Each structure stands twice: as structure tokens, then as C-alpha cells.
Structure 1
Amino acid sequence: MQPHIYDQIRAEHPDYYQKFDANKQYEQILFRAGKGLQSRELNDVQQQLNHQVKGVADALLKDGNIVSGGGVKVEQDNNGARAKLAAASVYIRGAVRPIPEKTLELDISKDAVIGVLLESTVITEEHDVDLRDPAGEGSPTVHHNFNEAGAARLQVTGRWSLLEGAHTVSTEFYPVYQINQGVLEIKEAPPQVDSISSALARYDRESNGGNYVVEGLGLHYIKTDNGQQHFSLQSGKAHIAGFELSYAMALPVTLPANPDVQVIGAEKTSLVPVVVEGREELWAKVDFPPLKQVNRASIDIRTTSSLTREAGQLRDKSFHNTGVTHIEKVEYNEIEYIEGQDFKQEDNHIVWLLDGPKERPPAGSSYQVTYVYSRVVNTKEQTLNSFRIDTSDIGADETILTEEIEMDYQRFNPRIDLFVMTKQGVVERIKGASSLEYPQPPAAPEQHLPLAYVYQVWDGTAPRIESVAIQALSMLDLQNMQHQIRDLYQLLAIERLRNDANSQESASKYGVFVDPFLDDDLRDQGLEQNAAIIDGELTLPITPKVEALDAQQTQLLPYELEDVLTQPKRTGSMKVNPYQAFEPVPAQVTLTPNVDHWTVTRQRWSSPITRRFIRGGGLVRRIVTRVDTQRVGVQTQQAEFLRQRTVHFTITGFGKYEELDRVLFDGIELTPEEA
């Protein structure tokens, strides 16, 4: 116990003495005959014993280690965040102390530390009458010290609390859990012996690498909301740097999306007219979607305007529009002038040539010029791969050239992120280097367990998740792998003999094709074969039809009930528990079906299925029995598409006046219906 606790006890109870000092290394108190017994000596006996026990216990456990219980669940909703802590047995200060369950409110915008708050209280006969001397109670002779005050008691109670909670001089806080902005940091399952744990961890790192998944810990994508990507990490167990980490429940992982943006400049494409509700709209498609925003879009417009011939100068005034790319036609009084012979374009002006074959327009007269100029336009709306230009400010005498549009835009670059788990059990994301195409995944740093690659394409679809976690193999898997290698060598030897036999005696000789109908090897692989080969015979296939059973209704064969055991007599009855001294029975929830298994089969050959139905029956008299059990390989990946199933929830066990508040399934609120 901390010294200040005893200082407080002595301040409140001056008649209490305790002089134990561990530095004096007193191992035993020797009581001598004829000497008075001091109350201090009895107190020193207890303190010395606690000190010895604590020294041994601290070598095995540390303050804050959870011996049993202590599950933590962090929940978030519109009303805030909270941590639900189950009842636990926690080692603190040389003893395993019971801690009741509790719910604590959290602020997920900052880190929080949850621990056990020990409160020490001195209890005397004034607080608990059972502490008075019971000597002589209930006997004819009452002793002189009956019902007199005796020794007090030091009561130490513990409860879950936050570090920033209210503390007093009689309380002590021992941290247990660390929550980083709503994410629980995994704690090692005690008891942990440091030397033994370190030795086992070192052995695990040297023999198995130290970083691998024992079971579970699959990463699943949930949704993207307000720039945040929500994932769920499946419950499971893993070893990181040789130490075991365990998740008892799924862990939510929320990270900002943070897509990488690249600017694509001076890209050229053509405009596509689209008729919507009777009006024509012009859309442009980008080469590198997905599109974030358009910085600049420049189109070519053909227009005709009048220019005035300047007096005494060969260079006329500039065009009414800037950015003129080329001149298509110059005409005056039905005289058409040719560029390069009569005039030339210089910047945004027309310059007349002195040696032109045609007479120039008179000074002060107007002539017509048809030219094409570039104009930056606004965009109205956009999709992931295209956008629409705004044509509202284009004049009626102007024509938009749809052959070419130049644009600068921003696009979301694809990226491959790596999700890893640290030694503390925190899930982190390592962003990969984005690129225009074919990004490369990042490498996992040391002392981290890689979980999955997340392929970010930012096109509105769910990112593809590829599990890269190293799975632990059992001895059975290693033995099966050894058998597979041995069978592979045997099959290779058989294949070499078959190839040698086929080279010497092929199926096709002198233009005649021969198929012994041993298997499907000689059949045309490019066509679908609708016949079956069974035991060297070509026969019609059998196409079975499997009817699915109704999971909501039990189907039985015809039967009749027969009395096997009857009891025609009966006895009286009595209440087993007339005072109802028990907790109410919790409601029972039944899911139908509770597990969904299905098999997807793609059939190209009719032989295997037909063989199952005609083997040993029909005209085939030969009975052949062969059982082969092989485990070719195991591949686990996240299903891209899951089929939809109707799940029925049956909730029973409610009392007469109990009402159902709400039903949550994987975080989704359901609407119950009465049967």
C-alpha cells in the first residue's frame, strides 16, 4: 500500500500503530514470554506477510493484469461513444481483486486510459456493528468484554474508472486498457511471466518468424461516409513479434480516405452531343477516370465578324475574340483573299502583303472574316469519367467545333494500401505510392503483421481486399502437404510413362482417329460435350435435379406414433421456488438459418456426374470401389458477391410485462414482427 494511505489512517485513528519497514529486512517477529503483546506487532505481522506475498506475486504478475473476465466493447452511435466493461478479476498490489461491470462514457476525439480505481476505507464498529466483540453471545455466561470495540478493518474496493476521473487522497489508479480515439489497444492475456514470455517469444520468432495469424482477423469493407472509410476486422488471434494478441470480437476500423490527386494537363478529346429532354448537350470524356474536377476546358468556336481596313497601315486591328487559332475565309465584295498570297495571320491580327496578286480592300472599308478561336468554357455537371460544358453564353452566330476540346483536370490516382497490426494490437494503414496506372503495394515494416492489401480505385465501388496475412499451419496440414508432394511425384512419373506410350502408340494412325474411351483426354476441348464416358463406354448423360429443402418447415417420412413409455398416474405438485429468488431467464434468439453454406459448381463434362448415378447399377455388372481423399490446396479470399438470404429471427423468453426495445444485427436495426 502507498505510504500516504497509512498516513491518512494514522491521522484519523491516533490509536493505530504500524512500524514495519522493509528496508530493515526483518523476516520474522519473535514473541517472547513475559513480554507484553503490542498491537503494533500484530499490525506488523500482517504487513510483513503482505510484503512477502507481494514480492512473489509481482514476479509473476504486474499491477493491472487481468486474471479472468474484463471484456471491453466500444460502442458508437448518435448519442456518443461508450465503453462497456465486464466484471473481472484484476491483480493489483499483491492480491487478485474482484471488479464489477460498468459502462463509461468516452470522448473519441482524444485518447483515454481505463483502469481500476482502488479506494481504501477504515471501517470501525461505528460503521459495522459486527466488529464488536461477540464473546459470550448466546451463552449463559457473558464475558466482561462482550460487545466492546475491537480492531478496525481496512476495506479496499475497486471499480472501473477513467484516468481523468475524480480521485481523492484515499484512492489509487492502476491503468489496464488504452483506447486511442475509440480504438481499443489489445492487452496481453495474463498471467504473463516476463522471463518465460520473452523466451517463448524469442523461440517463436526464431522458428516461425513470429508474425502470423492463428485464426480469423479477416478485413472487410463496410462503407464510405463523409470522407471516412469504414472497415471491420474479424475476431481472431495472431502472434506479433512472438507475443500473442487476441480479439474476442470484431473491431471497427475507421480511417480517412485521403485519395491522391494528379493533375492531367492539355488532354485533347472530342465533344459528344447527347439529346436530353429535347435539348442537345455536349459531353467530353476524359482518358483517365475517375474525375475529381475540371480545372480548365477550352473549345474551338467558328464565327464570322467584320473588320475595318486601317488607312495607311498593312496591319489591321485585332479580332473581336482572342485566342484565334486560324483563319478560314476573308471576303470583300465577293472577292476571296487567300492566306499566304494576299495576307498572313500575325498573332491576333491580319497583315496584308505588299506583293499580293489581288487588290486590298480600300482604307476604311469593312470586310468579312471567318475564323476559329479558342475559348475557355465552364462546366455544368460531371460524372466519374465525363463532364458537360456550359453553352449558355455561346452566341447564336457561333458554331462549336466538336472535333477537339483541350482540358486540364484532376483525377483520383489508384493506390494500394497495406493494413497491418502493431505489437500493441492497433490496426494501421500504410499508404502505397499512387500512380497513373498499375500502382505498386508498399512493403510491411518489421515488427508489424500484414493483414490485407486494399486496392483503392475511387470509382464509387467497394475497394477490393486481398488477404496477405501469413496463416499458421498445423502439423496435420504439413503432413497433408507432404502426402501431396509424394502424390505429385507419382503422378509425374505416371504422366511420363503415358507420354512415352502415346508417342509410341498414338490414337491417330494413317488418318484414322481412335478413342478407347478411357477418359475425356481425347475429346474436343473447344466444344461442350453432351455425352458421358463411363468404364470405356460412351453413353447418354444423367442430369440430376436437386430440390432444396424448406428450412422453415420440418419434412419427415410417413410415420405412426407408438407409445413406448406411459405414465397414467400422477402426483401432487408444489412450487420449486415460491419466492422467485432468481434472476429472470434471458431471452433466447434463434436465427434460421444461422449458417449459410452453398456450393457453386461449373460443369463442362457430363462424365463425373453420370458416373455417380450408374456406378454399380443398371447394365454395368462390375463393381468398382475406390475412395481417394486428397487436399489439393486451401485458398481463402473475400467473396466479391454474396447471395441474398432471408434470415428469420425468433425471440422467446420474455416475461409478461417485458417489452422489446430494439433488435440489432451486425449494427443494423431491424423491425420486429409479432408471430
Structure 2
Amino acid sequence: MLQDYYHNYDKANGYERLLFRSGRGLQSRELNDLQSQVQHQVKGVADVLLKDGDLVSGGDVVIDAVSGEVQLSAAQVYLDGHIRDIPSATFTIALQGGVDIGVWLTHRVVTEVEDPSLRDPAVNALNYDEPGAARLQQHCQWGLREDALAGEDAFYPVHRIEDGVLIIKQAPPQLDAVTQALARYDREANGGSYVVEGMALSYRDREADQQVFSLQEGKAHIQGYEVAFDTARSTAFDWDPDIGTVREEPKAFISVPASDDGARSMRVDLDFFPVKAVEEVNVSIEKSAILTRAQLAGGEDLLPDESVLEILSVTQGETTFVAGVDFLFLRNHISWQLSGAEPAPGSQFEVQYRFRTQVAIEHDEFGFTLQKQQPQGELVENALITVDYQWYRPRIDLVVLDRFGQLKRIKGQPAHQLPVAPKVPANHLPLAQVSQSWFTDQAPEIENLAVRAVSMSELEQMQSQISDLYQLLAIERLRNDANSEESASKFGVFVDPFIDDDMRDAGIEQTAAIVDGELILPLSADIVELPLPSGNVLTLPYELEDVLAQTKQTGSMKVNPYQAVEPIPATVRLTPSVDHWTQTSRSWTSPITRRFDIGRGLRRLTRTRTSTQVLSRTTRQAQFMRSRWVNFTISGFGPQETLERVTFDGISVQAQEV
């Protein structure tokens, strides 16, 4: 500052006003303090609504995704208690990583030396053309954080660009107090963190040692603060699987024919995959070797391979040497210290043995193929194989978004199977779970799980669907009730399941019949009695033939041993002999119709069903009988017999001779 500039305002003193007194000189310091005091009061009110770097208007950003050129329009930005005008600007940024674009606020002191117009312009005054107060000039321009202009200059960030994509936190005008109030309301009413639209994560490809994902353009609220992307953005995370190590995984070698030339092999599928590297494959090999007997009798001969398991045979020509009698297997040597037979010193003999060794293989993500024939010899069938290898352990990662628009990956805990996703950190919005299987040709499985906002129109549609479901449920319950034993009336519809006649109006004559759950036209029935012949038996025409006859025997008998001379009574036949009638209290035809037929269209089915069920039995005399005509026939009179009178139930009736 200037040497003759005095400024002593301190807000900690609590001075609210300057009280100018008469007769006292006016100090330049008092005028400077007055400006600072007024500016402090105005800034205190403005800071409640705005914060440094808030856009009031303008400030649009256009990014060239190829060249990295950024164009910013003119804007009004709140800085240090003032709304300042920022001219448009163009510059180039890096398209990888994060870049902060903001406003550089610079200032300088201007006196009459730099600007002669600051001298006193009053011509007739004593102070004409004399220097007066200097000026503090402040200049604002767009710039990057790393473009430091001077030590006293201040940078205020406005925009954030991640990998060439602009992160919009809030559209102008950005009123900080209003924003905080809305954020608090959003947190209390809606939870604060959710996706408004878009923001779906998808997998693109693997580039070198990184997995590239694409985040759809959209808008989200995080802890009540808005984060928006005008365009889709790509982000890359390290391809860093967790490595698991397996030692001596056992397998049994069982070979199968692999080709027409008789070669045999075995496919070995490892227990854990995808396989990163196979470190060791230990197998049992059987081979034959020609050894030369040492010059020292009773000495030892070294076998050419290490880790020998057993010696199968030792032969020389037609001679076979026996283990434990002729030789011993000691420390990978054949010892001839026994008193048995042994090859002559310097002569050659053949040894067949088995040993453990490592073989080289080429593996894939699941295992490898092991050939039976190896350079060292042939693999032993059903022998033990041990494998040491490394594999990629599955994991579930979580992709989240913070309130500043930063995409982050939260690594999960790897597991042999069924890994568990990590918990969501505080003040972050979970976007998706990424299930990592680490296969080369298989993309990770992505599950977008962000909570999404529901519009009022969607809520109205959901409410309508719920109402429809309630109505369908009520109708379904009504149908179930109609098919049950107790019928009911619901929703203004009377339901009769046609099980029996209980639901019918007993006060009105019914003209239809219910048969097997259906309402059909009735059948009327009249009882007709067939006339029977005099013999009381109705049969087809027939002739009697003797089945048993005795014609050779004779004898005698008394005709009337008891002197019974009463005449044989006559035979009386009533027509009808039995009177049938039906007393019906309800004129329904269902029981009668049910006995006759059951039909469907042109196809008819007639059947007879007999069912006897005695629930109770009671006998009593009928109080009244119906009146009807009864015919009677009297026969069987002998010669000289005459009919004197005929009575029926004590009532005399008139008979006519026929």
C-alpha cells in the first residue's frame, strides 16, 4: 500500500459508527475506516445468501472433447462481498484427471502518476490540480487453479471438470442460504441422496490394467445438494484383483485316449478359478534306466533321478535281483551290501523305478491338460498329482458418487465364494454394485441400485394400479366365497353357486332345476302303474317242462283226515292294490329332474344311481288318505256258492256279476 495511507479498522473492536465532532479535524484514516466498516456490514448480509464463487448469471462452459479447448461465457460471480463481472475466456485443459476452473481476483493501487485524471479538477479551488486520494483497482478473469498470477492474488473455484466432463453442482443463480435450506429439507423429507434421472453405470471395456466404465448423463441429489452431468462420462478404475494361493491341490491321474495315434492325456480342472498362474505340477513318473555297476563289490549305485519313490525291478539279462535279498534301496541309491547276488563290477544292468518330479504345462483360466508321455517318462495311472497355483478371488465393489461429483470405487472383501458388498460411506450416493469374476472374456456384472426419485404422475399411476389390485383381490375373494359352502352377496352382485336349493326364493314357484351345479330346464314325471296279469307275475311267454318225474310209485292217502268241510275262501283282487301319492310342500323340480338325465348339447348321458342311506326310521299311521276309485274282482266261488254282501273298511259296496 501507499506510505501515506492509514487504515486501522478492526471488526473485533465492535465499532459500529463514526461520530464526527465539530471543531475537530477530519482524519484520512477515519474516511478509510468508514469505507471498511460499511463494506464489512454489506458483506455480512451478502454472505448469508451467497458464498465466494457462486454464479449469479452466465458462466456457461463448452468443452471440446478432442482438443481440450474450453470456452466460458461472460458471467456474474459473487466474490469477496461483491457481485463482479467476468469477461468471456478461452483456454486449453487436460482431458485426464480433475481440473478446477474459477476466477482469479487481482488488485493494484492506482495514483495520479498512473492516472492523471485523479488530480483535483476544480479550476477555481485552492487545491486545483493537486493529487488526492488514490484508487484500489480490482480485476477478475477466468483461469485455472495452477495459473498463479501473483502472491497476493486470490483464486475462487467455480467449475469442476473430471476427465473432460463438466460437473454441475447447481444452476445459477446459486444462493447459498437458500441452497442449504433446501438441502436440509431434502434430507429430512426424502433422505437427501437419490437419483433424479439417468446416472446408470455400464461397463465399456478393459484397457491395459484398467476397467473403463460409462456413467449416463443425469442428475442426482447427494445429502440434499444437486449434482448433474450434461453428458455421459467415462471413468477408469484399476484392474487389481486379489490373488489367492493354493498349495498342493491333490488330483488323481486317470488318462484317456487323446488322439488316433494312441497318445493319452488327462484334463485337470482346478478347484478355484480363474487361474492366474500355475507354479508347480508334481507328478509320479515311471521309467527304466541303464546303470553301470561300480567297481567296488558290495557298494552303492546312484539313481539318475531324485525323489525316487520305489524300485520296481532290477534285471541283468535273464537275471532278476530281489529287493531285500540281493539289494536295498537307501538314500536314492541301490545298495549291494547284502550277501545276495549282484551284477559284476563294470557291467550294466536295468532298473525300473518311480519318482516324483515337476512337469511343465500350459494352462488356461480353468486348468490344464496333462500328457501321459513326458520327457522324463510316463505318468503313473491313478497316482497322486499335486498342483500349486494362484487364482483371482471374486469380489463385489461399490461405485459411489460424492456431493462434489467425484466417482469413487469402494473395494469389497474378496472371498472364495459368495463375496459380500462393502457398506456405503456416509455422505455418498451408491450407484451400482460391480461383481468381479476376473475372467478375460467376461465383463463384470453390474447391478444399478441407486434410489430413484418418483414423480407425482408415477405416484398417481401407482395409486391407480394399487386400487385396481384391491378391486381384483375383492372380486377373487368373491369368487372363492361363491365356490365355498356359504354363498354371499358382495359388490352388489348376488351369487348362487347352484349347489342346492338353499339360495332360492321359497315364496315363489320355481320353474327351473339345479343339477350338478347347473341351472337347467326341469323334467316333469307322472307315475304310471303297469297292469299285472292274474298270476301277479309278469314274465315272458314260456312252456313248462318236466325236470323231475316219478312214474313208478303208487300209494294212498286220506282225502279229508280232519273232516274239514269249510268252503275255500274266495280271492279278492284290488286294482290298484297299493296307492302311491306324493305330498310336495315346495314346487321345485330339481330332485325330480336329477333322477332322469344329465345332458350337454347334442350328447346325452343316461345313468342309474342307487343309494340307500337310513338316517332314522319312524312308523306312524297316516292321518288322512286321499280319495280315489278302486276296482275289485272276487273269484274262486265253488258250485252252489252265492255272494251275500261285500264290505270295504266297514262300508258296504255294490258288486256286479261278470
TM-score bucket (shorter structure): 0.5 to 0.7
1:72/1:390 Cα in 2 relative to 1: closer, same or farther (>3 Å)? farther
Determine the structure 1 residue equivalent to 2:79. 92
Q: Work out whether residues 201 and 243 of structure 1, in 8 Å CA contact, stay in contact via their aligned partners in 2.
A: yes
Q: Work out whether residues 232 and 252 of structure 1, in 8 Å CA contact, stay in contact via their aligned partners in 2.
A: yes
- For residues 297 and 318 of structure 2, what CA distance do their matches in structure 1 show? 23
- Given the alignment of the two structures, is residue 490 of structure 1 paired with residue 471 of structure 2, yes or no? yes
- For residues 62 and 234 of structure 2, what CA distance do their matches in structure 1 show? 11
Determine the structure 1 residue equivalent to 2:234. 252
1:113/1:313 Cα in 2 relative to 1: closer, same or farther (>3 Å)? farther
Q: 1:443 aligns with which of 419, 423, 434?
A: 423
- For residues 230 and 334 of structure 1, what CA distance do their matches in structure 2 show? 72
Q: Work out whether residues 313 and 353 of structure 2, in 8 Å CA contact, stay in contact via their aligned partners in 1.
A: yes
Determine the structure 2 residue equivalent to 1:216. 198
Residue deviations 1:169-189, cap 9 Å, x none?
Answer: 653333446779999887566
Matched to 2:448, the amino acid is S
Determine the structure 2 residue equivalent to 1:430. 410
- For residues 388 and 111 of structure 2, what CA distance do their matches in structure 1 show? 83
Determine the structure 2 residue equivalent to 1:545. none
- For residues 163 and 268 of structure 2, what CA distance do their matches in structure 1 show? 44
- For residues 351 and 52 of structure 1, what CA distance do their matches in structure 2 show? 106
Matched to 1:297, the amino acid is V
Matched to 1:441, the amino acid is A
1:453/1:342 Cα in 2 relative to 1: closer, same or farther (>3 Å)? farther
Q: 1:419 aligns with which of 395, 399, 402?
A: 399
- For residues 52 and 477 of structure 1, what CA distance do their matches in structure 2 show? 48
* TM-score normalised according to structure 2 size: 0.58
- Given the alignment of the two structures, is residue 462 of structure 1 paired with residue 449 of structure 2, yes or no? no
- Given the alignment of the two structures, is residue 305 of structure 1 paired with residue 283 of structure 2, yes or no? no
1:353/1:189 Cα in 2 relative to 1: closer, same or farther (>3 Å)? farther
- For residues 131 and 264 of structure 2, what CA distance do their matches in structure 1 show? 101
* 252-261 or 421-430, larger mean C-alpha shift: 421-430
- What pairs with 1:544-583 in structure 2 (closer than 5 Å)? none
Q: 2:275 aligns with which of 287, 291, 313?
A: 291
1:165/1:307 Cα in 2 relative to 1: closer, same or farther (>3 Å)? same
- Given the alignment of the two structures, is residue 62 of structure 1 paired with residue 43 of structure 2, yes or no? no
1:474/1:113 Cα in 2 relative to 1: closer, same or farther (>3 Å)? closer
1:36/1:263 Cα in 2 relative to 1: closer, same or farther (>3 Å)? closer
Determine the structure 2 residue equivalent to 1:233. 215
1:437/1:82 Cα in 2 relative to 1: closer, same or farther (>3 Å)? farther
1:36/1:237 Cα in 2 relative to 1: closer, same or farther (>3 Å)? same
Determine the structure 1 residue equivalent to 2:655. none
- For residues 193 and 119 of structure 2, what CA distance do their matches in structure 1 show? 60
- For residues 148 and 35 of structure 1, what CA distance do their matches in structure 2 show? 24
Determine the structure 1 residue equivalent to 2:108. 121
Matched to 1:485, the amino acid is I
Q: Give how far 1:320 is off.
A: 1.4
Q: Work out whether residues 54 and 94 of structure 1, in 8 Å CA contact, stay in contact via their aligned partners in 2.
A: yes
Q: Give how far 1:477 is off.
A: 2.7
Matched to 1:303, the amino acid is K
- Given the alignment of the two structures, is residue 474 of structure 1 paired with residue 464 of structure 2, yes or no? no
- Given the alignment of the two structures, is residue 399 of structure 1 paired with residue 378 of structure 2, yes or no? yes
Q: 1:103 aligns with which of 66, 87, 91?
A: 91
* TM-score normalised according to structure 1 size: 0.57
Aligned positions, number: 476
Residue deviations 1:544-583, cap 9 Å, x none?
Answer: xxxxxxxxxxxxxxxxxxxxxxxxxxxxxxxxxxxxxxxx
Aligned residue for 1:317, secondary structure, equals strand
1:362/1:168 Cα in 2 relative to 1: closer, same or farther (>3 Å)? closer
- For residues 491 and 347 of structure 1, what CA distance do their matches in structure 2 show? 86
1:401/1:55 Cα in 2 relative to 1: closer, same or farther (>3 Å)? same
Matched to 1:475, the amino acid is M
Residue deviations 1:496-538, cap 9 Å, x none?
Answer: 455677899xxxxxxxxxxxxxxxxxxxxxxxxxxxxxxxxxx
- For residues 392 and 190 of structure 1, what CA distance do their matches in structure 2 show? 77
Q: Give how far 1:332 is off.
A: 3.6
- For residues 459 and 336 of structure 2, what CA distance do their matches in structure 1 show? 90
Q: Give how far 1:224 is off.
A: 1.9
Q: Work out whether residues 88 and 101 of structure 1, in 8 Å CA contact, stay in contact via their aligned partners in 2.
A: no
- For residues 272 and 160 of structure 1, what CA distance do their matches in structure 2 show? 75
- For residues 390 and 305 of structure 1, what CA distance do their matches in structure 2 show? 21
Q: 2:225 aligns with which of 243, 251, 257?
A: 243
Determine the structure 2 residue equivalent to 1:207. 189
Residue deviations 1:225-252, cap 9 Å, x none?
Answer: 2212222322322222333333344343
- For residues 463 and 368 of structure 1, what CA distance do their matches in structure 2 show? 58
Q: Work out whether residues 183 and 426 of structure 1, in 8 Å CA contact, stay in contact via their aligned partners in 2.
A: no
Determine the structure 1 residue equivalent to 2:306. 322
- For residues 315 and 195 of structure 1, what CA distance do their matches in structure 2 show? 99
Determine the structure 2 residue equivalent to 1:385. 366
1:242/1:452 Cα in 2 relative to 1: closer, same or farther (>3 Å)? same
1:166/1:471 Cα in 2 relative to 1: closer, same or farther (>3 Å)? closer
Q: Give how far 1:94 is off.
A: 1.2
Q: Work out whether residues 323 and 375 of structure 1, in 8 Å CA contact, stay in contact via their aligned partners in 2.
A: yes
Q: Give how far 1:203 is off.
A: 3.9
- For residues 275 and 431 of structure 1, what CA distance do their matches in structure 2 show? 46
- For residues 236 and 315 of structure 1, what CA distance do their matches in structure 2 show? 87
Aligned residue for 1:322, secondary structure, equals coil
* 454-463 or 267-276, larger mean C-alpha shift: 267-276
1:144/1:232 Cα in 2 relative to 1: closer, same or farther (>3 Å)? farther
Matched to 2:459, the amino acid is L
Matched to 1:95, the amino acid is H
Q: Work out whether residues 101 and 157 of structure 2, in 8 Å CA contact, stay in contact via their aligned partners in 1.
A: yes
Determine the structure 2 residue equivalent to 1:615. none
1:269/1:447 Cα in 2 relative to 1: closer, same or farther (>3 Å)? farther
Aligned residue for 1:221, secondary structure, equals strand
- For residues 84 and 264 of structure 2, what CA distance do their matches in structure 1 show? 78
* 438-447 or 456-465, larger mean C-alpha shift: 438-447
Q: Work out whether residues 293 and 343 of structure 2, in 8 Å CA contact, stay in contact via their aligned partners in 1.
A: yes
* 45-54 or 146-155, larger mean C-alpha shift: 146-155
Q: 2:353 aligns with which of 371, 385, 406?
A: 371
Matched to 1:484, the amino acid is Q
Q: Give how far 1:57 is off.
A: 0.5
- For residues 35 and 319 of structure 1, what CA distance do their matches in structure 2 show? 119
Residue deviations 1:607-655, cap 9 Å, x none?
Answer: xxxxxxxxxxxxxxxxxxxxxxxxxxxxxxxxxxxxxxxxxxxxxxxxx
Determine the structure 2 residue equivalent to 1:636. none
Residue deviations 1:133-161, cap 9 Å, x none?
Answer: 9999xxxxx99999998876543211234
Structure 1: 5+ residue stretches without partners: 1-7, 137-141, 505-675
Aligned residue for 2:301, secondary structure, equals coil
1:324/1:88 Cα in 2 relative to 1: closer, same or farther (>3 Å)? farther
